[in-house]
Structure 1
Amino acid sequence: MTAAIVEHPVGEPGDGPYGVAVTRDGAVWFTLVHGGRVGRRGPDGTMTYTSLGEGSQPSLLAAATESSVWVTDTTGNRLLLLEAADDRAIVELGSVSVPTPDAQPFGVVALDDGTAWFTELGADALGRIDILGRVDEFPVGREGSFVSMIATTGDSLWFTLNAGNAVGHVRGGDAAIAFTELPSVPSGPVGITVAADGSVWVAQILADAVARIARDGSVTEVALGAGAKPHAVAADPHDGVWVTLWGSNEVAHVAADGAVTRHPLPTPDSEPHGVAVTPAGTVWVALESGALAALSTTP
């Protein structure tokens, strides 16, 4: 597999592109974690931005509808629903405060029923926003676990416990949380995604590896090399996964059989973080150094 990588500068110097998501209208949304802003790159390349206000920290986002996203404001202890009015403006559809002070919302997913789930770094909990904007919170039962990123299959939730060396799983909104312990200690699980075959992939930033949890609950790990520091993951259409290697300045593809293909980024020290894959297969990566990278592959 070979790849062509094009970098698109975004924001102002020091803004820090961090999270990235793709909506069904073909737009690429991204957070500027140090700049307090969220940006949108339209299908024609038009750039629009909106500020979340002084002191805000937009961290991660998730596609909600064809043209809207949920975004977590970690320091602001809230989530916002943003929509593209057109290719020249972003409008705020709603802002939802988290009841627990200093909960630090971070990861977020949107479900087809109009609800959204998010993680609380500072409260060791999950949160749920219903269609009326009301918030319920659910402690995960492991103090100091640093609940980080979250993924969904539509009827199940999976989330990483960064300091707990485990992955949590909730099958249905009222079910008890089950935990899968990860073999490497410490592993520092961060990014998480669910592949089309139902397997769950986890980036283990402290273990320099990704873990794959099969439908039967078995766990296998794929080593990515010392210093790779994998951060975020996104499923491909073929039961594999794309992963950002923050430490080695690369984006890697891990096939379902564990085969690894590495793609060095053209700019040194670009600090790849968030990753998303379009239906057409283009891989978008948020580079904290100041750009979005678009990666397209050929066999």
Structure 2
Amino acid sequence: MTAATTTHSQRSRFDEAPPLIRAHKIPSQKSEPYICMEGPDRALWFCESGASKIGRFDPTDSSFREFALPINNAMPIGITIGGDGNMWFCAKKASKVGRITMRGDITLFDLPTPNAGPDGTLVGPDGNVWFSETEISRIGRITPDGKVTEFSEGISNGARPLSIAERDGALWFSEAAGNRIGRITLDGTVTEFPIPSHDSQPRAMTTHPDGSIWFVQTSTNSLGRIDRQGHITEHKVTTPNSSLRGVCVGPEGDLWFTANAANKIGRMRPDGQMVGEYPIPVPNAGARCIGPHSNGRMYVTLFDVGMIGEVIPQ
């Protein structure tokens, strides 16, 4: 069940104790887990992009359940809690948005535009689920009964929107190829904010309690921060060429992130100062998403080894 455990003797520059990191093996072969999120049942729900399944991990006993999608090679990738109490996800290759109940019943909804490449997803302040359409550079919205609206006006061509965060009643999204952060209101009005560094490849995003939004910059090895006025600051991480992929806010308010190529979990203060970087105890794990849980721990999808990582701050 628990594949590996590690503690680290080194201390950070702020003398913070390093976290305990564990890894749990997913039953399916070639699971390729991607985005994960705590559900209303307090379990961790995640996408198995390689196995075309939705997974459920119970932190209380480290057990797994898996639910197969009715389409092979659908590539589920982004998942969130909907306003209806179900989990909603994007099936990227199938070009559909799906809903899964707590019992595991799955419904798939077609999108108006073929080959849209739905990716990141988040419930909006209106109770609808909003999602990025990476291949057509649009933002979509789906109601609980499956009605889909797509928004394209104001989004740069070829922007490849990915992750979505919410702030002040609007949705913010990363433009991986456009090198911008976008903002879309509930009526579909879009504003774009250019990132200072060239071709930084912004990906995962998270909203901090102080009102800022943080995002990873994969090609420039930085975490970016955008304030309410749209001003962007960039903060380098310690290990070069880390290929940052995921970011979340930890229980103490710091930013925790995945360094895919470095095979580490990193931690940064909200003022941009590094706290530490901690090796994942499984070689070449391929860390992608990291997300918080109400139990005070964080969970990481280890894409390349088919595991769920558990990060326990000390």
TM class, shorter-length: over 0.9
For residues 251 and 190 of structure 2, what CA distance do their matches in structure 1 show?
28
Q: What is the aligned length?
A: 292
- C-alpha change, 1:175 and 1:239, in structure 2 (3 Å) is farther
Matched AA of 2:67: T
Contact 1:23 1:66 in 2 (8 A): no
For residues 50 and 144 of structure 2, what CA distance do their matches in structure 1 show?
30
Contact 2:24 2:62 in 1 (8 A): no
Matched AA of 1:32: E
Q: Are 2:94 and 1:79 aligned? A: no
Q: Are 2:286 and 1:286 aligned? A: no
What 5-or-longer segments of structure 2 have no aligned partner? 1-15
Moved over 6 A (4+): none
For residues 175 and 36 of structure 1, what CA distance do their matches in structure 2 show?
31
| Aligned counterpart, 1:205 | 218
| Aligned counterpart, 2:146 | 133
Q: Are 2:65 and 1:48 aligned? A: yes
For residues 151 and 124 of structure 2, what CA distance do their matches in structure 1 show?
17
TM-score, reference length from structure 2: 0.88
For residues 27 and 165 of structure 2, what CA distance do their matches in structure 1 show?
27
Q: Deviations over 1:239-264 (max 9, x none)?
A: 43221111100111111121222111
For residues 112 and 183 of structure 1, what CA distance do their matches in structure 2 show?
29
SS in 2 for 1:122: coil
Counterparts of 1:111-260 in structure 2, within 5 Å, are 111=124, 113-139=126-152, 140-153=154-167, 155-170=169-184, 172-174=185-187, 176-224=189-237, 225-260=239-274
Counterparts of 1:1-150 in structure 2, within 5 Å, are 1=16, 2-42=18-58, 43-52=60-69, 53-64=71-82, 68-85=86-103, 90-92=104-106, 94-111=107-124, 113-139=126-152, 140-150=154-164
Per residue, is there more strand in 1 or in 2? 1
Contact 1:24 1:66 in 2 (8 A): no
- C-alpha change, 1:262 and 1:120, in structure 2 (3 Å) is same
For residues 133 and 218 of structure 1, what CA distance do their matches in structure 2 show?
36
1:296 Cα shift? 0.6
Percentage of matched positions with identical amino acids: 25
| Aligned counterpart, 2:6 | none
CA-atom RMSD, angstroms? 1.7
TM-score, reference length from structure 1: 0.92
